Amino acid sequence: MPEDYSELLQAQLSGKNYQKLMQLPNPKLHRFIAEAIELCTPDSVFICTDAAEDVEYIRKKAVESGEETPLATEGHTVHFDGYHDQARDRANTRYLAPPAMELGTNLNTIDKEEGLAEIRNYLKGIMAGRQMLVCFFCLGPAGSVFSVLGVQITDSFYVAHSDDLLYRSGFEQFKALVDSEEFFRVLHSAGELKNGVSAQVDKRRIYIDINDNIVYSVNTQYAGNTVGFKKLSLRLAIRKAEREGWLAEHMLVMGAHGPGGRTTYFTGAFPSFCGKTSTAMIPGETIVGDDIAYLRKKNDQVFAANVESGIFGIAADVNPDDDPITWNAITTPGEVIFSNVLIADEVPYWLGDGREHPGQGTNYSGQWCRGKKDDQGNEIPPAHKNARYTIRLSVLGNLDQHANDPEGVPVGGIIYGGRDSDTWVPVQQSFDWAHGIVTMGASLESETTAATLGRAGVRTFQPMSNLDFVSIPLGRYVQNHLDFVKDLQHPPFIFAVNYFIKGEDGRYLTGMNDKRVWIKWMELRVHDDVGVVRTPTGFIPNYQDLKRLFKEVLNTDYTPQTYTGHFMLRIPENLKKLDRMEHIYRTQVSGTPQILFELLAGQRKRLLEAQRKHGSYVPPEKF
């Protein structure tokens, strides 16, 4: 380590914190911390190890600083983000790219030198009067081929506390990283605070240096913009995965339990507000993770591991009837951080919780009462649609026994699901791997929701539910998926689900619990325990199998009329979808694999043949 870094660190860190840092003899790590101190000029620096007393310090300071407020239930706290800081900021999340680097037109980039100059200007002196926190984490199970180490620097105790709930401790792992530069780095500051929230959201910036594996985040508190090891570092992992021949995906991992006590593991990619967490939490099944997965190959099989060890979940619609496991976890004593909910008499309330909400309290707008309006005259709801809870996975009663297995879990199936009101059937299986990657994964669409800034209800292109996070040209990303299993004899099955299909009256055709049946059917398909009906877009279930499963799983009668409504092939809508996909990949995505166009053309041909034979809307019994 250069002498000037040593002198600076020794001068800026107390004796105890300096001694902690010196347990990690990594020059690149020391340089990152020293340069962050020089740039941000904090009053003091706290090095957080894996020790319980260090973690407790972060937890207590989150309350003392006012970033979190204790609630009536022991261990529960609430944090409020600014009124205009309630979701991921797509527009101001950019890649720092050198001029010669080709990332593709679909990625939001800024010249690296220009972007670094801008964000360093915002960060200059920003921590004056504050304490800098340096925290270490392990992405994936410790001591595993899946694990990637990361260090986050922040001046927010709430962010550091959230990190601790969401990720495995990594200080001890860093001790072995003597010379390696293979770790992710995050530098964040909430910026100027007013009434406890980031005051300059107009200067909110989240910049990602994909060459140096650094995430910069400033003037924001919302965890999706600040907890660097969620979607921000997913972008870094995607590039690392490409170099090393694996996949980093925006996916849940869950165990579905089938006949004879067997467990079949699925990964699943769903955009926000499309049922991802509720799928991972299906009653009777077990969860490995709900958000980000790394996929690797071993012994002619695909294995997956959850990057995280906690959940930053959407609170809306969590209630004792529809999501009893999560409800129990976030309403009983234990460590829970709520954000942007309604607080009345130290009790949190959120949309869709099944309770009568008080007419007044505190929420993300400050003091709130029913009928309160914002500056544009819009009525402010009691809780934000994107209100969240943060918990450790270990508090869940359905945590899978292999959730922390260093080997990961074997993947039997991959699920793609979006928010689609008029095209996809509730569940279907692809004909093969390439057909699934192209027509289900790479063709995934979803209607926008409150989880991202902008207008809700707009149909968006969301390939693999990962478009916002893909850090390589999209055509290459699709090709990587196609190539991933080329040396495997039996790759995982691929399925598509759609929980949001609507009838002519605009009402949803499927119930919130129907996904419990779809996952059981997919589990049986992986083992060839049930037959299928072949349609132009994929394999769908037989009526008799679903009739039996609805009775066994939900104790409901599944009628032929319901089956027809669920699995009616809507050919005009499917053809329009193909038009959209072909247009996007031909005009917006350079380097698109030729096989994608061939598979789309094959699907179009099958749909047109079915339309000539059966008409535009074809009931499943016709196949």
The amino acid that residue 102 corresponds to is E
Interstrand relation of 109-111 and 93-97 (parallel, antiparallel or unpaired): parallel
Distance of CA 512 to the CA centre of its chain: 21
Structure token pair of residue 250 = 């925006």
Distances (CA, A) of 48 to 40, 157, 392, 419, 442: 18, 12, 19, 41, 41
Q: Is the CB of residue 388 less than 8 Å from the CB of residue 223?
A: yes
Q: How far apart are CA 23 and CA 171, in angstroms?
A: 9
How far apart are the two ends of the chain, measured CA to CA in Å?
70
- CB-based contacts of 550: which residues, under 8 Å, 6+ apart? 517, 556, 557, 558
Q: How far apart are CA 282 and CA 390, in angstroms?
A: 19
CATH 3.40.449.10 fits 3-67+89-245, yes or no: yes
Task: Supply the DSSP string of 131-151, one letter for each residue.
Answer: EEEEEEEEESSTTSTT-EEEE
Task: Supply the DSSP string of 322-347, one letter for each residue.
Answer: T-HHHHHHHHSSS-EEEES-EEETTE
How many C-beta neighbours within 10 Å does residue 532 have?
17
Give the ranges where 137-212 is alpha helix by DSSP (H). Answer: 157-166, 171-174
Low-confidence ranges of the chain (pLDDT < 50): 1
- CB-based contacts of 469: which residues, under 8 Å, 6+ apart? 231, 234, 235, 238, 250
Q: How crowded is the C-beta side of 342, counted as CA atoms within 13 Å?
A: 23
What's the CATH architecture for 248-310+401-622? Answer: Alpha-Beta Complex (3.90)
How is residue 204 annotated by DSSP?
-
Please give the CATH topology (third level) of the domain spanning 312-395.
Phosphoenolpyruvate Carboxykinase; domain 2 (2.170.8)
Q: How far apart are CA 575 and CA 572, in angstroms?
A: 5
Regarding pTM above 0.85, the answer is yes
Q: What is the dihedral of CA 609, 615, 616, 618, to 10 degrees?
A: -90
Q: Is the CB of residue 210 less than 8 Å from the CB of residue 235?
A: yes
Average pLDDT across the chain, whole number: 94
How is residue 199 annotated by DSSP?
S
Q: How far apart are CA 619 and CA 623, in angstroms?
A: 8
Predicted pLDDT of residue 445:
94
Three-state DSSP at 193 gives strand
Predicted pLDDT of residue 19:
96
CATH 3.40.449.10 in the chain: give the residue spans: 3-67+89-245
538 strand-pairing partners: 535
CATH 2.170.8.10 in the chain: give the residue spans: 312-395
Interstrand relation of 148-154 and 183-189 (parallel, antiparallel or unpaired): parallel
CATH 3.90.228.20 in the chain: give the residue spans: 248-310+401-622
- CB-based contacts of 235: which residues, under 8 Å, 6+ apart? 95, 208, 210, 469, 470, 471
Distance of CA 426 to the CA centre of its chain: 22
**Tokens 């994909």 sit at which residue?**
210
Predicted pLDDT of residue 1:
44
Q: Is the CB of residue 436 less than 8 Å from the CB of residue 443?
A: no
Q: How far apart are CA 222 and CA 157, in angstroms?
A: 13
List pLDDT tens digits, range 140-194: 999 899 999 999 999 999 999 999 999 999 999 999 988 777 899 999 999 999 9
What residues are labeled active site? 274
Predicted pLDDT of residue 182:
87
Q: How far apart are CA 557 and CA 550, in angstroms?
A: 7
